[in-house]
Amino acid sequence: MDIIIIGCGKVGRTLAQLLIKEKHNVVMVDSSRVRLNNLTEDIDAIQIVGNGASIQIQKEAGIDMADILIAVTGYDEVNLLCCLIAKRAGHCHTIARVRNPIYSNEIKFIKEQMGISMIINPELAAARVISQVLRFPSAMEIEAFAGGRVELLKFKLLPEFNLDGVSVMDIDNRLRANVLISGVERGDEVTIPDGKFILRNGDMVSILATPANSQRFFKTIGLKTHQVKNTIIVGGGTIALYLARLLVAMKIDVKLIEKDEKRCEYLNEHLQGVRIICGDGTDRNLLTEEGLDRTESLVTLTNVDEENVILSLYARENSRAKLVTKVNRIEFRELLSRLDIGSTIYPKYITADVILQYVRALQNSIGSNVERLYHILGNKAEALEFIVREHSAVTDKPLMELQLRKNLLIGCIIRGGEIRIPRGQDSIQVEDAVIVVTSQSGLDDIRDILK
């Protein structure tokens, strides 16, 4: 597909990397020659310096032949204008990043009136991910499928679970829990396990299950399953604003620490039921005064990655809180994965996954749309939800007879509201939702699971 990306910031660069990896033709437009020059060698895209909201620049970028235009500059109004011009100048789908909370209640109206295909709010998406983690603090990551009826949860295998040396196939017999071990991270190695795979203490294990079955599983191995009662948020940016609103709605007591006085005044005005503390969240005395040792969770959302990481490390040593750490830069992701800083949130990856999901759905060939897409297992694998709308080579056959790609697992089949962890005799039917976990990238429709 021919795709134009306007805006060469963090999200734009991440999107370009993912789309080029999937063999799409990408044109990147930015008003800054410096930002374009700083693109890494693996981003093999055509570069155009100029204002993406200019009709002439869009024509130079090939808007008349483009399949999708994605506007992710730092300005909401520019992104919306870019999409509006693209709809008039070409015949492509348009995606705009819109971040300002003022527009959060007007997204549906804006989409309908301007004809924009998708509007993505990165900060709101990140806040929703964090709220899910605080709802189920035993999990380090939670991704939802089938409208929340199936979840992918990641947790660390600890000695007290008594699962060291247990094979994947023995989990069900031993624990009587209807869950599927769908991925294991061990050091730098990532595995989509078969039944013979042996679990070891320290593994990062991902499971697929219904919310009820995952709760039953975690209770059986001795992990808490209730949501946190209270939290401290450090940093009062847009993510913090959205998150505080979500947590108040979940009946979670929220303290929010922000050092900028004017921002504190704004937060006081726009947040109900949240205690706003004007102070430096990196001040150990302040954290102690506000009950760090007693809080059930700490979310670090400052604009400085190093502050967030250090705060989480400090909290790890001085509390038993569930930790959530926001990181913007991904250059040191593998290093950070070795630190015990709880759940790490990368907002630009969340945004990129949502957009990539839309792109994959557009190019499917037989109507088996990619409904959900998440990068998992340290970004080395994908979890995808397909809706099967037509008969094909994968339907009406026992799974044991399908020649599946290597490192691919059919994790769940949803049929008529019934959730099935599939066995060899099960088959995929038209209208099923199918969840697939794989280290193979670029799956567009359900037939791609075959060799």
Tens-digit pLDDT string for the chain (451 aa)? 999 999 998 889 989 998 998 889 999 999 999 999 888 777 899 999 999 999 999 999 999 999 999 999 999 999 999 999 999 888 899 999 998 888 877 888 888 888 899 999 989 999 999 999 999 898 888 988 888 899 999 999 999 999 999 999 888 778 877 899 999 999 888 999 988 999 999 999 999 999 989 988 998 898 877 899 999 999 999 999 999 999 999 999 999 999 999 999 999 999 999 999 999 999 999 999 999 999 999 999 999 999 999 999 999 999 999 999 999 877 667 777 778 888 999 888 888 888 988 888 887 655 667 888 888 887 889 999 999 989 999 999 999 999 999 999 999 999 988 999 898 999 999 999 999 999 988 888 899 999 8
Amino acid at 411: G
Which pair of tokens denotes residue 63?
């808007």
pTM: 0.85
- Between CA 302 and CA 81 the distance in angstroms is 30
How many other β-carbons are positioned within 10 Å of the β-carbon of residue 301?
30
Start-to-end CA distance of the chain, whole Å, equals 23
Residue ranges of domains in the chain: 2-120, 127-221, 230-345, 364-449
Which amino acid is it at 344? T
Residues 6+ apart with CB under 8 A from 393: 447, 450
Handedness of CA 311, 312, 318, 320 (dihedral sign): positive
CATH topology of domain 364-449: Alpha-Beta Plaits (3.30.70)
Torsion sign (Cα): 414, 415, 418, 422: negative
DSSP code of 228? Answer: P
How far, rounded to the nearest angstrom, does the alpha carbon of residue 167 sit from its chain's CA centroid? 29
Q: What kind of fold does domain 2-120 have according to CATH? A: Rossmann fold (3.40.50)
Euclidean distance between CA atoms 110 and 41, whole angstroms: 37
23 membership: H or E segment, kind and range: none
Q: Do domains 2-120 and 364-449 have the same CATH topology?
A: no
- DSSP H or E segment with residue 311: helix 305-318
Q: Is the dihedral of CA 308, 144, 16, 99 positive or negative?
A: negative
Pick the CATH number of 127-221 from 3.30.420.40, 3.30.70.1450, 3.40.109.10, 3.60.21.10: 3.30.70.1450
One-letter amino acid of 181 = I
Helix (H, G, I), strand (E, B) or coil at 304: coil
Strand 230-234 relative to strand 253-258, pairing = parallel
- List the alpha helices (DSSP H) in 199-252: 211-221, 238-249
**CA-wise closest residue to 195 among 163, 170, 159, 225:** 170
- Residue type for position 276: I
Query: Strand 150-156 vs strand 93-97: parallel, antiparallel, or unpaired?
Result: unpaired
Q: How far is CA 372 from the centre of its chain?
A: 10
How far is residue 21's CA from residue 15's CA, in Å, rounded to a whole number? 10
Q: Does domain 230-345 have CATH number 1.10.10.10?
A: no
